[in-house]
Amino acid sequence: MGAYAMAVTHLKRWNFSIGTGQPLVVIAGLNVLENLELALSVGRHLQAIAADLGLPYVFKASFDKANRSSIKSYRGPGLKDGLAMLAEVKRRLNVPIATDIHEIEQAEPVAAIADLMQIPAFLCRQTDLVVAAARATSAAGGWLHVKKAQFLAPWDCKNIITKAREVAPDLDIVLCERGSSFGYNNLVVDMLAIGEMQRLGVPVTIDATHAVQLPGADPRTSGGSTGGRREGVPIIAKAAVAAGADGVFLEFHPDPDKALCDGPSCLPLDAAARLLSTLKAVHQAVRA
């Protein structure tokens, strides 16, 4: 076990934890909500796999993808219809929910549904958004899942934690590594960043899906959307868990090439069982 993996955060309403000595947490689902039937189908499939492996599971999907390359890109059903859809998934499957926010006004309604409120990487330095999310999440008893920006050094995440806990001292925070900008249209993951963020006293997850993106470099749209290297997702996920990550963030679709958003970075749903089984084995070996 790494010398700096010292943080444990407990999600009381679902009775599981993330961090030192805890099972690998699986945050997985769809990139963006397309319809309720698909969300339920994907969630049910991933929930069953996680249950068989004895891993805590959180269903994730966005109700709005605001950070798009093109104004014509599919963004999702929006706040009202999207939260209603997520609430139905939560009710029917009895699973915790993760989703992201982009605006201050979204914090309280999202906290009422989501157990993990997520701050997108591009927005992690927006003080008013972080403050609103921290207050709403703390009041609701959830986790604030903050993605490290592509332009931010891992140790600089201490400022995000400080901001959030100045307004919500008891807030449970989980940081997420998702790669750093590496020249034009590319990202690279520094596995040492996982330990550096754990040194800040919080658990750390890996977003292996977005770490393989090629921003603004989808050849199908001549740069009008983000490309990706789907085959790299398992590599990043396994390497990050071996480096000490406390949880994994993954996106699946029954037919990734037909996904309405970020298909090139999305894994086929039938790949989930094998990957998650491997990740559990790696996690156990590293923590032994």
Mark 103-134 as b/e (b = at least 16 C-beta within 10 Å). Answer: eeebbbebbebbbbbbbbbebbbbeebbbbbb
Structural contact between residues 165 and 171, judged by C-beta atoms closer than 8 angstroms: yes
d(CA 39, CA 210): 19
Q: Catalytic one among 60, 64, 65, 148? A: 65
Give the closest residue to 66 by CA, choosing from 81, 84, 83, 79.
79
3-state secondary structure 202-269: CCEEEECCHHHEECCCCHHHCCCCCEECHHHHHHHHHHHHHCCCCEEEEEEECCHHHCCCCHHHCEEH
d(CA 144, CA 230): 27
**Is there a catalytic annotation at residue 262?**
yes
Q: Catalytic one among 31, 64, 148, 172? A: 31
**Is there a catalytic annotation at residue 31?**
yes
Determine the length of the chain.
288
> Which amino acid type is present at position 77?
P
In terms of Cβ atoms closer than 10 Å to its own Cβ (0-12, 13-18, 19+), residue 191 is middle
d(CA 279, CA 283): 6
**Is there a catalytic annotation at residue 35?**
no
Q: Catalytic one among 207, 218, 246, 262? A: 262
Q: Which residues are catalytic?
A: 31, 65, 262
